[in-house]
Structure 1
């Protein structure tokens, strides 16, 4: 394949543009903020789960407290009724003895229930404190996630600007190359990543391998408009005064 040496040299401009586009694409996929966001999302979810668990525990305790208070109220009402009967003087001696015994039992039961209620209230206070702490931790995690997402968005916006600019440069360069040369360049770039590179000091600029004597001899005897490729990586090697031929 033949192509004007000046056109071949312009391939280096296209290769530079493609290299930058590749870097932008790689940067998009490997932004540190992406990993940071993924981790932050896990933390947020864990904090949300902890908050839900706390709210569930608090709800269970509230129901238990209400049940306990209701039972204490029932014991007190029974106690008040028994005392009223005793005070009324309408009960016989046996009933009086039974009532006094029941009152003693009710007093013990009320004391036990009140102790249990106090323990429940203390547990509830501790769980409520844990809930407040969980809320603070969730807010911190959500703030960290929002910060990482904001930094990602700014980085992506900058990369998009670079992508658009270099894509525009590429669109202007591509029509300058004959189809066979461009086709070869695109094929090599698709398979190897670099379509063309400068042959400098007898070394391929794509794979960085120094050419042996036989390759140098062959290329030296090739016409300037002949397109030569690297035997190792297949990239188009653009020859200039720096090639060392």
Structure 2
């Protein structure tokens, strides 16, 4: 997501730069048209005044015709630049929308991650407290055994038996092990022969 957002920002900067270049072209083209229009207006005033020689007035007439053609050409340039400006503005608007959408998604994901992390931290703190309370009721030798097994088995020192299967390693207990567990007193600590975890007997153990 961060890379996508960075790429969109780069594309948007490029689009804004292109729009700026076209805007300068448009300003220059419009200034050129204005200059020609002003020059033609001055010549027209001189021509209409009738001052000057016939040769001067004839030259003014020719210049007005040249200026008219020049104005037409420049106005075509202005129209072409305006069309490119519309395209550039549309591109900037599109990339801005995509950038904003990506930013909103990133912010939403970030907020969700923060909320989830806070929830996990709160749950971990709660479970740590509960574990400390429960650990205080367990005999020290049994707790020490649990900690050793837990350290050796990826943090899982005890596992329930469900339908004659160890929930720690997911292996089914063989018949001799099932019979031994059945015969053992309810308060006797039993361990799985395969994985070594402490086995916890529950209502659906299937024993």
The two structures have a TM-score, normalised by structure 2, of 0.69
Change (3 A) 1:92 1:190: farther
Aligned twin of 1:63: 24
Maintained 8 Å contact 2:50/2:57 = no
Name the SS for the 2:170 alignment partner: coil
Residues 60 and 217 of structure 1: CA distance in aligned 2, closer, same or farther (over 3 Å): same
- Structure 1 pair 201/88, CA: closer, same or farther in 2 (3 Å)? closer
Using CA pairs under 8 Å that are at least 6 residues apart, name the structure with larger relative contact order, 1 or 2.
Answer: 1
Question: Deviation of residue 63 (structure 1)?
Answer: 0.6
2:62 pairs with 1:104: no
CA contact (8 A) 1:72 1:114 kept: yes
State which drifts further: 235-244 or 167-176: 235-244
Separation in 1 of the partners of 2:68 and 2:37?
A: 9
Structure 1: state its 5+ residue gaps.
1-37
Task: Give SS of 1:172's match.
Answer: helix
Check conservation: 1:85, 1:91, Cα contact below 8 A: no
CA distance in 1, matches of 2:206, 2:84: 81
Return the alpha-carbon distance in structure 2 between the equivalents of residues 206 and 200 of structure 1. Answer: 10
State the distance in 2 between where 1:80 and 1:176 align.
104
Residue of 129, 132, 146 corresponding to 1:171: 132
User: Pick from 200, 203, 206: which aligns with 2:168?
Assistant: 206
Matched, 1:236 2:189: no
SS at match of 1:122: helix
Map 1:75-224 → 2, pairs under 5 A: 75-80=36-41, 82-83=43-44, 89-90=51-52, 93=55, 100-193=61-154, 194-199=156-161, 202-215=164-177
Using the alignment, how far apart are the partners of 2:202 and 2:90 within structure 1? 75
State the Cα distance separating 1:114 from its structure 2 match. Answer: 0.8
Query: CA 1:58 to 1:183, structure 2 compared with 1: closer, same or farther past 3 Å?
Result: same
Give the TM-score normalised by structure 1. 0.61
RMSD: 3.9
**Deviation per residue, 1:128-185 (Å, 9 max, x gap):** 3444454445444444444444444444443333222111101222344455543432
**SS of the residue aligned with 1:197?**
strand
**1:76, distance to aligned residue in structure 2 (A):** 3.4
List gaps (5 residues or longer) in structure 2.
none
